[in-house]
Structure 1
Amino acid sequence: MGETVDAEPVSGRAMLGQTLRVLREKSGKSLGQLADETGYEKSYLSRLESGERLSKVTVMEDLDEYYGTGDLLLRHWKAARLDAFKDQYREYMALEATARIMWVFSPGVPGLLQTEDFARGVLSGAQTTADGDEVVEEQVAARLGRQYLLRQKPEPEVRIIMDEFALRRPAARGKTWDDQLLHLEAAALWANMTLQVLPFSAGAHHHMVGSLTLLWQRDGSAVAYKEGNGCSRLIEDPDEVLRQRLSYDRLRDLALSPSDSLGFIRDVLEEHRS
């Protein structure tokens, strides 16, 4: 009896690339024609089709419109972006994508609210290998892709508490930091967003070395996710999730009100510009 050998699993990026190539060939377009008609470079489109690169979400939206495929490429892209993350984080991201309520505490500017240039600057710092630029661009695309869930319908209800540290020690300079502060100011006004600043005057607290996220699904189930000191942990035990929720409540009690937090961000922006 012959042995059955499992096929090598195909990555999400490879599947997306195959779909892009099939759509282009079915439309009778060469890569050069596609580049001319969409405005994207031929070499870039080629690398997307070969699965070498993960695009920004807006590229897939543009190509879905170009091919008239609804949200086919966007759905493939959502699966492909998970290739950029470790297994436990993939599980967390799957839960994040369907969450109806999100509570986040971050000692820095959270990924959900980072601008592209700010994210690129933060992620570039840790890359020292020869292919560092490629790795950074993939991570930037994946991080910005997470922000897509903030504008999906129905929109999740999101509360974010940022430590004052994030605003007092910027990870960028000049226009990049100016744009990041403007983005935070705009986000604070979104209907589905509550943004608060935890001031230094609140003193020491139990989440100084990492971030905490709480997610609630439509059925009321909840998980917590903690990151810090180079490690991460997805928490599903109901009792432990409840303890994390209570710890978040204490941070919220110490934070500035949403209106005072908006004023704080505007003051920091004014200080930066002066």
Structure 2
Amino acid sequence: MRDRSGLSLEELHDETTYDRSYLHKLETGARLGSLEVMAALDKVYGTGDQLQQLWELARDDAFGSRYQRFMRLEREATVQYQYASSTIPGLLQTRAYATEVLEQARPRDAAALQEDVDARMSRQSILESEDAPYFRAMLDEAVFHRAASQPAVWLEQLEALLEWQKRPNVTLQLLPFSAGLHDLMGGSLTVLWLANGKAVAYLEGSKSGELVEDSGRVEELRLSYDLERDKALSPEQTTEFIQQLVKEIRSCLPAEPT
């Protein structure tokens, strides 16, 4: 597209202010870029939102083939149940919290990190659309004992959870340590129910993921989820727990100037 426009790489740099090396990596496919970058290039090339649309299509590839199919199914689901053992579920994360989580996942440069954060944030539209699925998340108590490194980031994330809890299609429940040992420990589980009545599950560890479509295995995982949900705090108790954490963090932060 740059060749068609007659612009040199140097001229494109001048037009967009993006680093020449970064622009070259975008052209060769070494970088996916972000929606913001694509909007800037669309403006320079006069291509409307063509590059932005292509970016959205290519974005799924950043998650790998196994996760790619799961994400397509996620967008089709009418009901979604999640269990999280160590971090806030991606659909509920704030940008600052997501950035810190993804920074720890694997080494990457700033541009690649930003791409992954943008992709994660864009998924939240699933819960905010007019036909949003019913979403239930069961959060292990360990999630709340593994705070973000910056109190302000953690406070923002907890307050975001309280806002999510207010939505009619979102329910959050805390699974306390008193629930004891269980077979969902050590990873996360998502169960999706599709409009056609089919259910699928996704098991995710720190370095791997598995899409489960066998109905027998999905039913076993759903049963495991239900057994632990019976031990979880109610949504109201969970809200009170988070509110108490917010209160404790606020008491430790410097007072805002009046």
TM-score range, shorter chain: 0.7 to 0.9
1:263 corresponds in structure 2 to 240
Find the aligned partners of 1:198 and 1:58 in 2 and give their Cα distance.
Answer: 38
State how 1:201-216 maps to structure 2 within 5 Å: 201-216=178-193
Q: What number of residue pairs does the alignment pair up?
A: 243
Deviations 1:68-88 (A, max 9, x none): 968x66653432111211111
2:62 corresponds in structure 1 to 84
How large is the Cα RMSD of the aligned pairs? Answer: 3.1
Deviation at 1:170, TM superposition (A): 0.6
Deviations 1:200-255 (A, max 9, x none): 12122211101000011111111011012532211111111111111111121111
Deviation at 1:257, TM superposition (A): 0.8
Counterpart contact for 1:118–1:172, Cα < 8 Å:
no
Counterpart contact for 1:57–1:145, Cα < 8 Å:
no
1:135 aligns with 2:135: no
SS in 2 for 1:219: coil
Find the aligned partners of 1:79 and 1:260 in 2 and give their Cα distance.
Answer: 41
SS in 1 for 2:123: helix
Deviation at 1:63, TM superposition (A): 9.6
Change (3 A) 1:243 1:226: same
Deviations 1:84-127 (A, max 9, x none): 11111111111112111111010121111111111111111244
Find the aligned partners of 2:34 and 2:127 in 1 and give their Cα distance.
Answer: 16
1:112 aligns with 2:102: no
Deviations 1:183-206 (A, max 9, x none): 111111112111111111212221
Deviation at 1:177, TM superposition (A): 0.9
Q: 1:173 aligns with which of 150, 158, 162?
A: 150
Deviation at 1:143, TM superposition (A): 1.5
1:3 corresponds in structure 2 to none
Deviation at 1:149, TM superposition (A): 1.5
Paired-residue identity, %: 39
Deviations 1:7-56 (A, max 9, x none): xxxxxxxxxxx6xx79xx6xxxx968986xxxxx5559957973565455
1:97 corresponds in structure 2 to 75
Q: 1:238 aligns with which of 197, 212, 215?
A: 215
Find the aligned partners of 2:152 and 2:133 in 1 and give their Cα distance.
Answer: 30
Unaligned runs of 5+ in 2: 6-10, 252-258
Counterpart contact for 1:127–1:136, Cα < 8 Å:
no
Q: In structure 1, give the amino acid aligned to 2:67.
A: Y
The TM-score with structure 2 as length reference comes to: 0.80
Unaligned runs of 5+ in 1: 1-17, 36-40
Find the aligned partners of 1:247 and 1:193 in 2 and give their Cα distance.
Answer: 21
SS in 2 for 1:76: helix
The TM-score with structure 1 as length reference comes to: 0.75
1:194 corresponds in structure 2 to 171
Change (3 A) 1:68 1:263: farther
Counterpart contact for 1:210–1:226, Cα < 8 Å:
yes
Q: In structure 2, give the amino acid aligned to 1:111.
A: G
Find the aligned partners of 1:224 and 1:165 in 2 and give their Cα distance.
Answer: 22
2:140 corresponds in structure 1 to 163
Counterpart contact for 1:210–1:227, Cα < 8 Å:
yes
Deviation at 1:269, TM superposition (A): 1.1
Q: In structure 2, give the amino acid aligned to 1:249.
A: D
Deviation at 1:268, TM superposition (A): 1.0
Find the aligned partners of 2:152 and 2:18 in 1 and give their Cα distance.
Answer: 30
Counterpart contact for 2:31–2:112, Cα < 8 Å:
no
Change (3 A) 1:63 1:252: farther
